[in-house]
C-alpha cells in the first residue's frame, strides 16, 4: 500500500494532467508535517521534469507509437523522480510504492504493474547514471509552447537571449518572502532581504513561521508585490479602491501605508471574499468589502478614489516558479477572455479616478498583451490620462524613475510582474 504522501502526489498529477486543473493551494493539508516535505519535493520534480521523465520512458516501451495511460505515466514519473533526485528515499521504497500506485484503480493502471516494476527495477540498479542521463536530456522537453512564448516575452526588453538562465532560475523551488505587520520580535530564522528593504526571507533550514502568520503578525508576499507597493506618491490619499482584492495582500499593504484612508475592497468570488475578510480582520486593516463583479459596480454611480489598485485576473505567466503546473496548463488558457476582462475592468475603473489621483494596474504576467499593450492603447485613446513615474529605475526598463514596473527577469529574484501607473 503506497503511503499517503505518494497517493496525494499521484492524485495531484491526475488533477493537472487528467483534468487540466491547477494544484490546489492546500493540496498537502491532510499530510502529516513529516511527510509534507517529501511530498512537495516529489510533486515539484514530477511537474518540473514531466517532459523529460516521459521522454526517458518512451524508448523502453515495446510499442513506442502507443501512448501510455495516465495512471502508468504517473506511477513511473513518481518512481523515477524519487530514484533520480530524492537520494533520501531508499530503492525499495521508490520502486515498491510506485508499483503499488500502479496497481491502484484510482491513480494507477493495474495491467501495467509488470511494466512499471521492470522499468523501475532497471533504473534502480544505477541511480547516479539515471540522474545524469535525465539531467543530460534537452531542457526544452520540459517547456510547453506557452512557456516558450512566456520566456521570450520576459526577455524581450533586454533584447532576447538568456532563455536557459531564466529557465534554470524558474526550475529552482521558490523561496517565500515575508512582510512583518507588527512591531514585535520576528520569529527565529527570518532574515532581512538584501534586495528590498522591509522584505524578509527564511534562513536555510529555519522553521516556516506558521504561527506568526496565523496570528496576523506578518504575511507571505512575493518580492515583486512588495516592490510594487513601495511606490513613491506624495499627494494626499483619503479614498482607496482595491478593485480585485482577495486574498488581501495589497489591501493590507495599502491600509498600513495610508492609515487615514478609507478602503473599499471589491472581490467577486464569495469564497475568496471570505478569505479577504478574515485576512484583513486578522491584520487589523479596516475596509468596506464589496462582494460583486467590479465592472458593473464601477459603472454604477459612486465616489471617485485618490488611489485605485487594479490587480487584475491574468494568465499568471510570471508565477511559473511557484506554480510549475502552469507550464503544462498555459496552452489551454483562454487568453482572449482574460484580455477582455482586463480591458473591461480598466475602462470601468478609469472614470472613478479623482483628479490628481493614481491608478495602478498590475498583473503577475510577462506577456506584453496583458500589460504594456493595454497601456499603449489607453494612452493613445484617452490622452487625459498620463503616466506617473512612481517606481525607481531598477524596477523598469528605462534609465530614470518609471511608470512601467517590469523588473528584469535575470537580475530580479521576484515573480514576473508588469504594472503601470497613471494619473489624470
Ligand X SMILES: C[S@@+](CC[C@H](N)C(=O)[O-])C[C@H]1O[C@@H](n2cnc3c(N)ncnc32)[C@H](O)[C@@H]1O
Where along the sequence are the contacts to ligand X (CB under 6 A)? 244-250, 266-269, 272, 293-295, 311, 313, 345
| Inter-residue contact 158 to 130 (CB < 8 Å) | no
Q: What angle do CA 335, 28, 363 make, to 5 degrees?
A: 25
- Residue 130 or 294: which CB sits closer to ligand X? 294
Q: How far is the CB of 308 from ligand X (least distance, A)?
A: 12
- Residue 104 or 317: which CB sits closer to ligand X? 317
- Residue 107 or 375: which CB sits closer to ligand X? 375
| Inter-residue contact 412 to 402 (CB < 8 Å) | no
Positive or negative: CA dihedral 162, 163, 168, 171:
positive
- Residue 68 or 390: which CB sits closer to ligand X? 390
Query: Could you give the CA distance from residue 10 to residue 403 in angstroms, rounded to a whole number?
Result: 45
Q: How far is the CB of 78 from ligand X (least distance, A)?
A: 32
| Inter-residue contact 131 to 314 (CB < 8 Å) | no
Q: How far is the CB of 169 from ligand X (least distance, A)?
A: 22
- Residue 224 or 245: which CB sits closer to ligand X? 245
| Inter-residue contact 166 to 154 (CB < 8 Å) | yes
* Strand ranges in 271-417 using DSSP code E only, listed in sequence order: 288-291, 305-311, 353-363, 386-387, 404-405
- Residue 46 or 240: which CB sits closer to ligand X? 240
Q: How far is the CB of 93 from ligand X (least distance, A)?
A: 39
Q: How far is the CB of 327 from ligand X (least distance, A)?
A: 19
Q: How far is the CB of 349 from ligand X (least distance, A)?
A: 10
Q: How far is the CB of 240 from ligand X (least distance, A)?
A: 12
Q: Are strands 353-363 and 418-423 parallel, antiparallel or unpaired?
A: antiparallel
Which residue, judged by CB position, is nearest to ligand X in the bound state? 244
Q: What angle do CA 401, 405, 407 make, to 5 degrees?
A: 100
Question: What are φ and ψ of residue 108, in 5° steps?
Answer: -115, -155
Q: How far is the CB of 226 from ligand X (least distance, A)?
A: 11
* Strand ranges in 131-217 using DSSP code E only, listed in sequence order: 177-180, 190-192, 200-202
Give the SS3 label for residue 290.
Answer: strand
- Residue 162 or 313: which CB sits closer to ligand X? 313
* Residue 76 to residues 64, 178, 251, Cα–Cα distance (Å): 16, 37, 44
Q: How far is the CB of 371 from ligand X (least distance, A)?
A: 13
- Residue 36 or 299: which CB sits closer to ligand X? 299
DSSP conformation letters of 66-117: SPPPHHHHHHHHHHHHHHHH-TTS-HHHHHHHHHHHHH-TTTS-GGGHHHHH
Query: Could you give the CA distance from residue 188 to residue 294 in angstroms, rounded to a whole number?
Result: 41
- Residue 120 or 223: which CB sits closer to ligand X? 223
Amino acid at each position: 500500500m503506497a503511503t499517503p504522501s505518494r497517493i496525494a502526489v499521484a492524485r495531484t498529477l491526475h488533477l493537472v494532467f487528467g483534468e487540466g486543473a491547477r494544484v490546489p493551494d492546500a493540496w498537502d493539508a491532510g499530510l502529516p508535517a513529516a511527510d509534507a516535505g517529501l511530498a512537495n519535493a516529489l510533486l515539484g520534480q514530477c511537474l518540473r521534469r514531466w517532459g523529460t521523465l516521459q521522454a526517458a520512458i518512451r524508448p523502453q516501451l515495446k510499442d513506442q507509437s502507443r501512448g501510455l495511460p495516465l495512471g502508468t505515466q504517473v506511477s513511473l514519473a513518481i518512481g523515477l523522480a524519487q530514484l533520480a533526485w530524492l537520494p533520501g528515499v531508499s530503492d525499495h521504497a521508490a520502486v515498491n510504492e510506485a508499483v503499488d500506485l500502479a496497481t491502484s484503480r484510482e491513480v494507477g493502471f493495474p495491467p501495467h504493474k509488470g511494466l512499471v516494476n521492470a522499468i523501475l527495477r532497471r533504473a534502480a540498479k544505477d541511480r547516479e547514471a539515471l540522474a545524469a542521463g535525465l539531467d543530460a536530456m534537452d531542457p526544452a522537453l520540459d517547456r510547453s509552447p506557452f512557456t516558450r512564448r512566456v520566456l521570450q516575452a520576459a526577455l524581450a526588453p533586454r533584447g532576447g537571449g538568456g532563455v536557459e538562465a531564466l529557465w534554470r532560475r524558474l526550475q529552482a523551488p521558490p523561496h517565500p518572502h515575508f512582510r512583518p505587520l507588527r512591531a514585535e520580535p520576528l520569529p527565529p530564522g527570518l532574515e532581512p532581504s538584501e534586495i528590498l528593504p522591509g522584505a524578509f526571507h527564511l534562513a536555510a533550514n529555519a522553521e516556516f513561521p506558521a504561527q506568526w502568520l496565523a496570528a496576523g503578525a506578518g504575511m507571505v508576499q512575493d518580492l515583486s508585490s512588495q516592490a510594487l507597493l513601495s511606490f513613491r506618491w506624495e499627494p494626499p490619499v483619503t479614498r482607496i479602491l482595491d478593485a480585485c482584492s482577495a486574498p488581501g495582500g495589497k489591501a493590507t499593504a495599502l491600509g498600513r501605508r495610508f492609515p487615514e484612508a478609507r478602503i473599499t475592497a471589491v472581490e467577486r468570488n464569495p469564497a475568496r471574499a471570505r478569505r479577504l475578510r478574515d485576512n484583513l480582520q486578522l491584520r487589523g486593516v479596516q475596509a468596506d468589502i464589496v462582494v460583486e463583479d467590479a465592472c458593473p459596480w464601477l459603472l454604477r454611480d459612486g465616489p471617485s478614489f485618490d488611489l485605485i489598485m487594479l490587480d487584475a485576473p491574468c494568465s499568471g505567466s510570471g508565477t511559473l516558479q511557484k506554480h510549475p503546473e502552469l507550464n503544462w496548463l498555459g496552452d489551454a488558457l483562454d487568453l482572449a477572455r482574460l484580455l477582455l476582462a482586463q480591458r473591461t475592468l480598466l475602462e470601468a475603473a478609469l472614470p472613478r479616478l479623482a483628479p490628481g489621483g493614481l491608478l495602478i494596474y498590475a498583473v503577475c504576467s510577462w506577456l506584453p498583451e496583458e500589460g504594456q499593450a493595454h497601456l499603449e492603447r489607453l494612452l493613445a485613446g484617452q490622452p487625459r490620462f498620463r503616466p506617473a513615474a512612481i517606481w525607481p529605475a531598477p524596477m523598469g526598463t528605462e534609465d530614470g524613475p518609471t511608470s512601467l514596473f517590469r523588473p528584469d527577469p535575470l537580475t530580479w529574484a521576484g515573480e514576473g510582474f508588469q504594472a503601470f501607473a497613471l494619473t489624470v
